[in-house]
Chains A and B, each alone.
Chain A
């Protein structure tokens, strides 16, 4: 219970938690819709880049700026790595406009995972 917190405090804290979940969950649904991913792992690694010069520009990004992605999608079949990354970037265009700064992307087809599980 957080009885000792004032109403405002409690509200603020909740608001922060909600917005922190937001980018990752928005990314999840956008990637899911665009790529029909069978595996979709999204890891927020923003803390590793805190204080990094460029991060001070993106003040409204709630600290959600850097992510590691693993995406397995049948839509990657026959596509070069550049094309696969472009497909991911296209799906996340709005996020990239609003403070998402960098993605580390592993983009595989379901077959590639079966043949070479690493």
Chain B
């Protein structure tokens, strides 16, 4: 399934509403605002553009809401959790290796 490749190939993968440059929901926007300053490549897919993608992601992750943030193949959660991890330092730890090793990774095109 392509979602398995998405989250495997992209150290930070977001399924969100809108695109990182223009999120279309407050929660997706919050997730981007938290992640941006870490300057790691953010791959994303816009679930608003594709209802099938939306249900596929929900079924894949067993998580009912968006955004969904995967780091190194693992669902870390939505915007509440990413904000929490930012505040308690966990996010920095998790993203540490990524910033160095994945500089040239490009974004996924939807």
Interface residues of A (CB under 8 A from B): 49, 52-54, 81-82, 85-86, 89, 93, 96, 101-106
B80 touches A82 (CB 8 A): no
* A104-B81 contact given A52-B25, A89-B63, CB 8 Å threshold: no
| Secondary structure class of chain B's binding surface, majority of residues | mixed
* Total cross-chain contacts (CB, 8 A): 37
13 A-B contact pairs sorted by A residue (CB < 8 Å): A52-B25, A53-B48, A54-B17, A82-B75, A85-B77, A85-B78, A85-B80, A93-B64, A96-B64, A96-B65, A104-B79, A104-B80, A105-B80
Distance in angstroms between the alpha carbons of A86 and B17 in the assembled complex: 21
Query: Chain A nearest CB: distance from B33 CB in Å?
Result: 15
Chain B hits for A85, CB < 8 A: 77-78, 80-81
Residues of B55-91 at the interface with A, using a CB-CB cut-off of 8 Å, are 62-65, 75-81, 84-85
